[in-house]
Structure 1
Amino acid sequence: MFSDAYFIPETTLLFDQLQAFRSRREHFAVVVDEYGDFRGIVTLEDILEEIVGDIDDEHDVDLAGLAPQADGSWLVDGNVTIRDLNRTLGWHLPDEDASTVAGLVLFESRTIPSPGQEFRFHDIRFRIVKRKGNRLTRLRLWAD
């Protein structure tokens, strides 16, 4: 049995969304911006994890695009989301101005860096490993 999709604005507060999930007996919603464009999906589990921390279950998978290195660094694909990286590694990188690791480096550095360049933001060291055109596709990260 299918029902209509449940749409919510991206400005909805977590507590309000939690209450809406409970009253509607929904477990996920489609998030849209002020123009009605798709921004993502939020689940009840996402909200609960924001409140109480990570909830491990049988549906969780290892984060693709993230590989630990012998020297303690992490090899990270540029399109890995900051939110997923923070959850997986217990870091606290900001995700207000960029949603991906590559986007954060572009935002903070105010440049399109070349392979080999290093930056340090928010107590994390970022080294550009690979770039395709203007896209940062692979980075190495260290927590300082």
Structure 2
Amino acid sequence: MKNQNQIFLKTPLGIAKINGNENGVSSIQILDEEVPTSKEIPDFLQSAAQQLDAYFKGNLQVFDLTLNPEGTAFQQKVWKALSEIPYGKTCSYLELSRKLGDEKAIRAVASANGKNPLWVVIPCHRVIGSDGSLTGYAGGLQRKQWLLNHENNTSQLSMF
């Protein structure tokens, strides 16, 4: 893989670390520690930075980025399915497994979901338990709840 560049951006949920190169964005992670934000952003990561900012301001619902995450063929298939969950909606791990054609693969689907390298852009936070509970989230359940609330609130802002 070509050399990766990384930038650090402030978000309402902490510092986001974005990795990528000319081939696309390979990972976006939320950090638990404070690190200085990036002053310079390479051209090929500008769009990722701008779109994340717009998402958190409530001005973007669908990301349009060149993505280049590393993962197995199965993980890639799960991440593609995650990308199809609409903004402001949720689905269960079981529903996702069924959509992928094998409800018995629920644990494998949950595992691939947990290995999603593209925080927020591939919306793994939109997957919940069959009973509606917030289940596992690599970024922490408080962040998952915040993201779900953010997406539900911004979709209902304009009443008049």
Greater gyration radius: 1
- Flag the structure with more relative contact order, 1 or 2, with Cα contacts below 8 A and sequence separation at least 6: 2
When the two structures are superposed, what TM-score results if normalisation uses the length of structure 1? 0.28
The structure whose residues are more often helix, as a share, is 2
